[in-house]
Amino acid sequence: MCASGQVVLVVVVVVVKAVVVVVVIVVVVVVVVVVVVVVVVVVIIIVVVVVVAVVVVIAVVVVVVIAVVVVIAVVVVVVVAVVVVIAVVVVVEVVGYSSLTVIVVVVVVVVVVVRVVVAVVVIVVEVVAVVVIVGLVEYKT
């Protein structure tokens, strides 16, 4: 009985050691898999954040460009209006008040034409900006 008890004890010890080794291997594999999954998720999140940041920066640049174009257009309109007013004052002083109606009509026509041209330029720039932003968003997603 004593020898068989020792054999049973040896078998139990071997089985317990094998189970411990298997459990350790499973735990290590699970930990490695979890770490890899976490790293992959973090990398994906970083890539998405970078892509979104790039799209936002491009959108901001486009908006700034549009704002600059609008400011330039407003400055052009103001400069043209000032030049026309100066021209009207000079013509009225030189020619007299009889042609004032013609001068006012010319000034109004020039201002309207300049405003229409500026409006068309602004609309074209805005459309191009929207197309670029939508294209970038579609491309990145």
**Res 78 pLDDT > 80:** no
The whole-number pLDDT of residue 13 equals 79
Residue 14 confidence class, pLDDT cut points 50, 70, 90: confident
3-state secondary structure 47-63: HHHHHHHHHHHHHHHHH
Rounded Cα distance between 90 and 99, Å, is 12
Confidence of residue 5 (pLDDT cuts 50, 70, 90): low
Q: Is the pTM of this model over 0.85?
A: no
With 80 as the cut, is the pLDDT of residue 93 above it? Answer: no
Domain ranges of the chain: 2-140
Spatial neighbors of 66 by CB under 8 A, at least 6 apart, are 122, 125, 126, 129
What share of the chain in percent tops pLDDT 70? 88
| CA R_g for the chain | 40
Are the CB atoms for 122 and 69 separated by under 8 Å? yes
pLDDT in tens, 121-139: 778 777 877 777 777 777 6
Residue-wise pLDDT tens digits, 41-70: 999 888 888 887 887 787 777 777 777 777
